[in-house]
Structure 1
Amino acid sequence: MKILVPVKRVVDYNVRIRVKGDGSGVELANVKMSVNPFDEIAIEEAVRLKEKGIATEVVAVSIGVPQAKETLRTVLAMGTDRAIFVEATTDVNVDIEPLAVAKLLAKVIEDEKPNLVIAGKQAIDNDMNATGQMLAALLGWGQATFASSVEIEGDSATVSREVDGGLQTIRVKLPAIITSDLRLNEPRYVALPNIMKAKKKPLEERKASDLGVDITPRLKVIRTAEPPQRQAGVKVSSVDELVSKLKNEAGVI
């Protein structure tokens, strides 16, 4: 079984996001970038399936700027066998939209023919949570989103997924798309020897233009702004005063 895992390069989750002074977007200059945390979980799950003998090969794919090749080296160190980088832009301020990413991934999947795609449920930079679902629709494959556990049995996968009311367990026939939630696993620490070994693993490079996909943005960001600062709370002396403030000042009742 071959597993393909899409990976995105995002601002590290420990970095405090700053908006550019002109409001044109988020400041990315001299900012630490890392693997999207949900994608790390997807990589970990794919590698664990290989360690169990269920998968025979794990391939990571990243779409975006040339700097994403550094991100792919990180996931190669986590245990993936090889990686594919699709250059879609050279401008770090350009975020390739989910539909374009899904179309590019579909082209890669046509060539690679994996049995399973495990993706992060969303990227922490735009929180769109759309690529996995769009990819399943383009391929005509079954999908199991927000997975908190995955069991592969023959030509099907049993997935427990997190929904508003609790957990829902479904079975999908392979090939399929699975998107990972936070509780699926805890990604492993990458040791130095594995980082050195990753430098020798194959990393194939392609161009988005060669795949025949139109990546022209459908959305335009008009303005980016910091959220308003939260005002300090106040103490009230009675329930009546609390109700009055909620009604007359906060306007919530």
Structure 2
Amino acid sequence: MMKLFKSMRKNRLNLGKNTKYLKYAIGEIILVVIGILIALQINNWKENQKLRHQELTYLNNLKADLETQINMLVVNIDYETIIIDQSNDIIKHYELNKGFNSMDSVFPKLNDLTTRWTFSNANTTLLQLLNSNQINSIQNVGLKEHLIAFNQQIDLFAKNTNISNTNLIDNITTGAFISTGGIASYGYSSRMIQKFNDFYPVKGKIVHDNELKKTLIKTINKPLNKLETINKVAYRNMLSNLQKSGNEAIKTRTEQILKMIENEIDLRS
């Protein structure tokens, strides 16, 4: 009987030890799981911080690109304004003088129409984000959609501008203005020269020959030359009005997106 009691007592002690061990093991597992969860949360927090820092860098770079783009658009708009003003003056002079007469002040304006301005896309960061599929780094879904649409708009406008410059200006109008505008005798207007000098010095050689000027007047006033010149002046005026409107629309869109980006930067700063 005593052996039976001893055996039962021993079994209870062993059961108690096993229960304590089981509790201890479960506690250890819980602590390990909690530790893993905390480590994952810390890792996720660090990764999110890294992503947010990267996003803020992208936003600041986008902001700088858009500011550059606006400055370039101002230059484009100013240039197209010069062409519009010069062509308006030429047409007004033509109507008042019933042709191309007393042209000393007008020929430089006509020569200005041989030039054209190229549109440049300054948004290198946006192109990088799209090409590398990093555009999703931008958390604000609305801003991201605006950026994608903006890239499409500016890409289309750039292509149309280049096509217009090559096919409509270079191939249609420029040759006629060079032939009848008197580049050699008059050069460009002071207004256009100043525009060029804002970026790089422009030097032109003027040929001083009064007989050449007389020949120029006779040539431009030949009926077919007169018709071709005034038609192409009016056509150039229309093209520049279109280009100016396009640049102004792009500028307005750029300013809107810039404001959105500035707001995002303020939220994250």
TM beyond 0.5: no
* TM-score of the aligned structures, taking structure 2 as reference length: 0.23
The answer to which structure has the higher strand fraction is 1
Whichever of the two has the greater Rg, that structure is 2
Question: Relative contact order (C-alpha < 8 Å, sep 6+): which is higher?
Answer: 2
